[in-house]
Structure 1
Amino acid sequence: MYITITAQKLGGDYSQSSVDFVAYLEKENQGLEQDDVEHFFNQYGDEIKAKEVVKEIDGNTAKLKKKEPKFYSITINPSQSELRNLQYNSEDLKRYTRALMTDYAKSFNREINGKPITVDNIKYFAKIEHQRKFKGTDRQVRENQPFATKILQLKQAIRKIEQGQLEGDTKQMKSDILKLEADAPHQQNGKRIVQGMKKEGNQSHIHIIVSRKDTSNSVSLSPGSKYKASEVMMNGKLVKRGFDRDAFFTKAEGTFDKTFGYKRNYVESYKSKKDFVKNPKLYFTTLLGLPASEKAVAFKMLSKSGVPMASIPTSQVQLALKTIRYLKRGVEVAIKSSSIGI
């Protein structure tokens, strides 16, 4: 599970409307039959139209300044392993989203009218998408890049030869291009993986747009608050503030596992990410101490994420700091992937 929370991003000043973001979330519906369309939904409603989402989010921004975000985006990216555990893909993801947003509300260290925040105080709309495209930062695209560069150079040379600006054997160059295409390490359906190519397999994920203000349009709720959980005196009153992201990520993972009976491996857990960041030696020691069957699954997950498995120590003695430093870069990339991170 990989979950991100980001503030509305639109340059210097924040846009006064969510219309562009909502339109972006509608991209997969273009050209689909009505029965195949994925609608927006929230805690209690389904089949919510895009224009209603824009109206609700844009109309809930009282007293927010131009340089303050009007909404936040939460993206939930289940791994392939997690998705395989679902019976009814879209309906199960809707059910999980509603449970997740209950966890989201509980992660605020705030009160409204003397009562803890609940999901009824949160104005949000969610959308399920089923496609993903390879990005330039994806490992497959990066590792194919040297081949892409040589192919581009050859194509440019061929064009110059055909225009009479250069001399050379275009037939041989075209043959070289075909060989480079085939030799690129990462292929999908017989084609070299490039930026913008659709990823195969189940790529279902969830986008959530959540208003910065509560449902009454009177209280500002920021999941990006730098205050984890604290109290401060404001106008002579002791006020709670903050959003506990750590608690939210932990709850999100636990809710998925409980809801769908998912048996989570150590390397795909939120705890493993924290162990890796704070104490790499503990991370690798725990990994090596897993039961044989769990360790085999863990190594398989790491291998798919691009970690150099041949270099992972096989005993506690080999677990030297030098080895950890060498592996750290590979695991850092893997732990950010949707297969093993939150």
Structure 2
Amino acid sequence: MYITITAQKTDGNYAQSAVDFVNYLEKENVGKNTDDLEHFFDQYEEGILRQEVISAIDGNTAKLKKSEPKFYSITLNPSERELKTIQSSQEALKRYIREVMKAYASSFNREINGRPVTIDDIKYYAKIEHQRTFKGSDKQIIENQPYATQILQLKQEIRRIEHGELRGNISKLQQRIEQLEQEAPHQINGIRIVRGTSKPGPQSHIHIIVSRKDASNRYSLSPGSKYRASEVLMNGKKVKRGFDRDAFYKSAEKTFDKMFGHKRNYVETYRARKTFLKNPKLYFSTITKLPTNERTLAFQLLQRSGVDTALLTIPTNKLQLAMKAIHILKKGVGKAIESASIGI
């Protein structure tokens, strides 16, 4: 499960409305019949319409400055194995999100009227999407780019010939374009993968928009707080503050495994991701020491993400070579995490 929490995007001052972000989340509804539309849901209700979400988020921003975000975006990206575990069930994802948001509430080290924050203090709206498209950072786009560049140049040359600016054989140029299209290393059903191409296989994921203010519109609840769960002395009183992201991420992972009986491999765990970021040598060393079945699966998951696991077999006593291998592996796993192609 790859989870991100990001503040409302800004260009200087924050927009005073969530309309642009909510409209973005409506992209999969474009062109659908009324009966097929995917609506928002919250902790207790289904079928919440776009305008209701905008009104609720925009109307819950009391005393927030223009320089402060009005909402946060949480994205949960189940891995292919996790989606297989629940058979990509939409109802299972909804049940899971409602449990995850309870964990979100309990990760605030805050009190409201002398009690801990609960799910009823959180104003959020979630939406499930079923498609993903390739972006510029994906391996397939990067490796197809030389072919894309040549194709673009040839098309520009054809246009110049058509406008009488250049002399040449358009038919031969078109044949060359067709050849390059076929030679591109990454294709789906014989068509070259480009930015915006839909990714194959199960791609369900969840977007959540969460108000910065609590449901009463009185208290600010920021998961982007620079403070971890702690206490500070203010006006002679101890005040709790902060949001524990580690606790939230770990709870989201454990909740999925407990609800659906998912058997999580080491490379799919939040603990592994933390280890990779802090100590990549330990990360790769841990993988090589896993029990045979788990190690085999770990290698398979990394290979699917484009990581050259053959480098993991290099003897560690050859220090210089091993460190070079770790650098290459770190780069590969980093790209896999960035594109969320492995569920860690």
TM-score (norm 2): 0.95
The answer for the alignment partner of 2:339 in structure 1 is: 337
How much does 1:209 deviate? Answer: 0.5
Alpha-carbon distance in structure 1 between the residues aligned to 2:102 and 2:37: 26
Whole-angstrom distance in 2 between the partners of 1:194 and 1:339:
17
Are the counterparts in 1 of residues 144 and 185 from structure 2 also a CA contact under 8 Å? yes
Paired letter, 1:50: R
Report the Cα distance in structure 2 between the residues aligned to 1:10 and 1:49, rounded to whole angstroms.
25
Letter in 2 for 1:25: L
Query: Is the counterpart of residue 72 in structure 1 residue 69 in structure 2?
Result: no
Task: Report the equivalent of 2:171.
Answer: 171
Instruction: Please tell me the residue identity of whatever aligns with 1:187.
Output: Q
Q: Quick one: which amino acid aligns to residue 285 of structure 1? A: S
How far is 1:314 from its partner? 5.1
* Mapped contact 2:88–2:202 kept (Cα < 8 A): no
* Residue 326 (structure 1) aligns with: 328
Structure 2 match to 1:183: 183
Is there any run of 5+ residues in structure 2 with no aligned partner, and where? none
Report percent identity of matched pairs: 64
Closer/same/farther in 2, CA of residues 21 and 336 from structure 1, 3 Å limit: same
In 1, Cα distance between equivalents of 2:136 and 2:125: 29
Partner Cα distance (1:195, 1:64) in 2: 37
Residues 108 and 241 of structure 1 are in contact (CA less than 8 Å); yes or no, is this contact kept in structure 2?
Answer: yes
Is the contact between residue 137 and residue 339 of structure 2 (CA under 8 Å) also seen in structure 1? no
CA 1:318–1:81: 2 relative to 1, 3 Å = farther
Query: Hey, what does 2:127 align to over in structure 1?
Result: 127
Which residue is 1:63 aligned to?
A: 63
Question: Residues 15-64 of structure 1: CA distance to partner in whole angstroms, max 9, x if unpaired?
Answer: 11112211221221233233322111111111112211111111111110
The alpha carbon displacement at 1:316 in A equals 4.7
Cα distance in 2 for partners of 1:11, 1:247 equals 31
8 Å contact from structure 1 (residues 78, 338) kept in 2: no
- Identify the range of structure 1 (254-263 vs 230-239) with the bigger mean alpha-carbon deviation: 230-239
Distance in 2 between residues matched to 1:170 and 1:209, nearest whole Å: 51
Q: Tell me by how many angstroms 1:229 deviates.
A: 1.4
Q: Which residue of 1 aligns with 2:292?
A: 292
3-state SS of paired residue (2:342): coil
Q: How does 1:1-342 map to 2 (within 5 A)?
A: 1-87=1-87, 89-313=89-313, 315-317=315-317, 320-342=322-344
Give the superposed CA RMSD.
1.6
Shift of 1:13: 1.0
Greater displacement, 193-202 / 92-101: 193-202
Please identify, of 298-307 and 220-229, the stretch whose mean Cα deviation from structure 2 is larger. 298-307
Q: Which blocks of at least 5 consecutive residues in structure 1 are unaligned?
A: none
Matched letter for residue 162 of structure 2:
E
SS in 2 for 1:128: strand
- 1:295 is aligned with what amino acid? R
Is residue 268–residue 339 contact of structure 1 (8 Å, CA) maintained in 2? no
Please give the per-residue CA displacement for 1:242-288, whole angstroms capped at 9, x wherever unaligned.
01111111111111111111111111211111111111111111111
